[in-house]
Structure 1
């Protein structure tokens, strides 16, 4: 049995893991789109390692595009097996995939028109609406907390992860010829006391865990403080006659913002008749799905409904689904709030609103979610004086506010709290879905707190081999033998322990460099990296023999 890390390794997007029981049985856990700049997005085009012709199924932990958005690419390449997800996730996937396909087509058409002017070839979209529709037809909704053998030898259980409507962690009990192994995938872990959705639950015991670390080195502000900060910005803009522009993810983040604004209205704290334009067709549809599924709400949100109030609506909220309605917003005068997608400002209507408003000193841009390296949103957070929008430089005069408390991701303390009840002697934890500094930093903290577990930060396309758990004392790194000698070693576990020690040492050095504790010595880094690669190659050679 082995698991290949096809994404979300030392980066946040592109979550996808190929699980192989044997030569005949393999499947994917998540199949996400890489986002955050041209270089990393190039990975979306080559999906040969995803093996669309071979995999038996795809399990989706939740609907966000960085966990699900590559599925239509697989259907375009011939995948026609089942796609398993919770009921709420299944509903959200339908609108998210169609929206993503539309974006892919529009961007390809735009680039093709540009290419024609200089005599270049047309651009093929990553996938099209027909591919998204084919993927939607393959969705098979399943219940939370229901162990099901959907693939022979694989018993899967979705467990609530908080985060967004329908989001889940996935517990897998794997049975193969060489034994049994329990594997857990955290998905994206939500926050304690998060708005709208329930708190994350704990999976059954696992031997190997793949755990997200988006904010492995960060502590969030409290949700109450973040609500106040948002309302302070809105009130200030109202007094100035300015605008509040909020790049927002269509699913969960938008609904949380509406929830906070609706609460302020019910409490008599909304400034005047300040309008709020929900300028995202996708977010409008997602919000309606939320309203249609109150059974997935937490107790606090259900209580608002039971009192006769509307937690996801208020009189000054105006959806603008059509292009004409969206364009008309920038012709309006006076203070207003504009919520538009996408959340990283890399595509969608938010780009138009930023182009029209970033140069205005009375504009407030509120960042309420994670911003990947290379994205326009990340440039704004990092204090850029100008950003390029539609290939034009736009001066940044607007005030940029980063409000981290609305994050749907657990912070370091919350991740440790979620992890603690799952710790046992010999647990192997692979830290994923975090930029390198976040994952390596969390590994250092978690290893100190839970010394009886092992923490590892995989690399892209790294293969994690899993076998029935057995403890073997690690050999000293200094006694690392030559490959020929390793072939004669009877204990595979001892070899694995050595390779882990070497990997960990390399990760420690990289963390020290990233945090400024060590000066970069490229020769030393390369020497250590070669030792690690040699150890991994020796292990592979031994296993092949």
Structure 2
């Protein structure tokens, strides 16, 4: 048996890990879209590194686009197997893939208008809405903590990863030639002090572990400060300067945490009386979906709901669906808060909001999570004076800030906590994925101090025998 890393290999997007058994059976862990890799992004997303026709089974850890976003293209290019994931991930992935297809179609249409004027070759989206719809019949839900046979000699179990609604760590028990291997893939891990969701669960002893490492070199800010920090940015931008606070935010997970935090500020009488716009139909759908799975909430949210039936709603909140309403926000002169996808500011309506507001010093762009260095969000955080958006240059006059405490990824303490149920001496190899090289090197040293002697940092398309 071997495993090849075709994504999230010394980077944090494009999660794809292909397991090939001795009998030829292939199991793909995740099938994610690359995001924020500049000029390389397009090529990375158009070349899998393997033939989709040859993949037998897909196991999906969670719905985020950097883990699920290339499924329609995989199917379009010949994959016909089952896609296994949790029930909430089935529902959420369908929402996200429809949205991803729509965004690609709209962005390509917008870009092609300019390319046509410049007499350049027109480009095509990776996939369209029809391609997304075509893959939905392949999904099969598997509940948490329920062993399920996905192929002869291969048993799958999901445990809660606490990252977003439905997120799971993947555990495979693979028996070949009377030899059994236990392999665990963390997917993306949440925090043990999540604002909304349950903590990651313990899991059986593994022989091999694929562990995400996004924040393997840092500790998050105390979440108690999140409300104070968010309130400070609203006050400084909207109240004192009369500007707009633009928050690029992933529609799933991050946006709901922001809404929950704003709702808490209202409950204690501190939320400024402003208009708060969530400009993303996807965010509204994701929020409604989250409300339909209350059993996934942690005890804190459950207690809040005893006196506040909807912890994601408050005075002044507006969900924007219509494109014309979205465009109207850019003509608005009054101060307001705009929360819009995507989190790295690489796609969707938030790029238009940044484009139209970045040259006004009254405004502020507030990043609330990890950004690939080459993404628009990453370049803004690096302090660049000029950015190009949809091929046009803009001088950065708006202030740029960041809140780390809202991250849905665990820090290195959370990641090590996740591994606490393991005997390091029995783990033959621990593969670090979903992190940048510098972070992995630092985190690898911490893991070795904890007794994990064989830590690998796979490169793109690198193959290992297990």
What TM-score bracket applies, with the shorter chain setting the length?
over 0.9
Matched, 1:341 2:341: yes
- Counterpart-to-counterpart distance in 2, 1:173 and 1:116: 53
CA drift of 1:126 comes to 0.9
Aligned pairs for 1:295-314 (under 5 A) are: 295-314=295-314
Once residues 113 and 78 of structure 2 are traced to their aligned partners in structure 1, the CA distance between those partners, rounded to angstroms, is: 29
* 1:44 has 2:45 as partner: yes
Q: Distance in 2 between matches of 1:53 and 1:331?
A: 49
* Structure 1 segment 327-338 matched on structure 2, within 5 A: 327-338=327-338
Taking the aligned partners of 1:106 and 1:192, their CA distance within structure 2 comes to: 38
Do residues 137 (structure 1) and 169 (structure 2) align? no
What's the offset of the Cα at 1:426?
A: 4.1
Task: Assess if the C-alpha contact under 8 Å between 1:56 and 1:151 holds in 2.
Answer: no
Q: Structure 1 residues 349 and 293 mapped into 2: Cα distance closer, same or farther (>3 Å)?
A: same
Runs of at least 5 residues in structure 1 that lack an aligned partner in the other structure = 467-545
| 2:451 pairs with 1:463 | no
Superposition deviation, residue 422 in structure 1: 1.6
1:306 is paired with a residue whose SS is coil
**Larger proportion of helix:** 1
Tell me the TM-score normalised to structure 2 length.
0.96
Larger Rg: 1
The answer as to whether partners of 1:35 and 1:41 remain within 8 angstroms in 2 is no
Offset, 1:213: 0.4
Figure out how many residues of one structure are paired with residues of the other and give that number: 463
Instruction: State the partner residue of 1:500.
Output: none
Structure 2 runs not aligned, ≥5 long: none
C-alpha displacement at 1:227, in angstroms?
2.3
Report the counterpart of residue 61 of structure 1 in structure 2: 61
TM-fit CA distance, 1:373: 2.2
Q: Note the 1:274-289 alignment, pairs <5 A.
A: 274-289=274-289
* Deviation digits for residues 261-314 of structure 1 (CA, Å, limit 9, x no counterpart): 01111110111x211000011111111111222122111112222324321111
Q: Distance in 1 between matches of 2:266 and 2:136?
A: 38
Match of 1:259 in 2: 260
Question: Structure 2 CA distance, aligned partners of 1:449 and 1:175?
Answer: 29
Structure 2 contact 206–426 (Cα < 8 Å) conserved: no
| 1:471 equivalent in structure 2 | none
Matched, 1:30 2:60: no
1:245 corresponding residue in structure 2:
246
Deviation at 1:114, TM superposition (A): 4.0
State the alpha-carbon separation in 2 of the partners of residues 222 and 395 from structure 1: 33
Partner residue in 1 for 2:325: 325
Query: Is the alpha carbon distance of 1:114 and 1:352 closer, same or farther for their aligned partners in structure 2, counting shifts above 3 Å?
Result: closer
- 1:15 positional shift: 0.6
Equivalent position SS for 1:463: strand
Tell me what 1:440 maps to: 441
- Assess, with a 3 A threshold, how the Cα gap between structure 1 residues 237 and 108 changes in structure 2: closer, same or farther: closer
Alignment of 1:34-183 (within 5 A): 34-36=34-36, 37-49=38-50, 51-177=51-177, 179-183=179-183
| CA deviation map 1:429-461 (0-9, x unaligned) | 1011001111111111211232x5311111111
Match of 2:215 in 1: 215
- d(CA) in 1 for partners of 2:264 and 2:215? 28
Correspondence for 1:359: 359
Contact 1:426–1:453 (CA under 8 A) maintained in structure 2: no
Structure 1: 4+ residue segments shifted above 6 A: none
**Deviation of 1:178 (Å):** 6.4
SS in 2 for 1:356: helix
Higher relative contact order (CA 8 A, sep 6+): 2
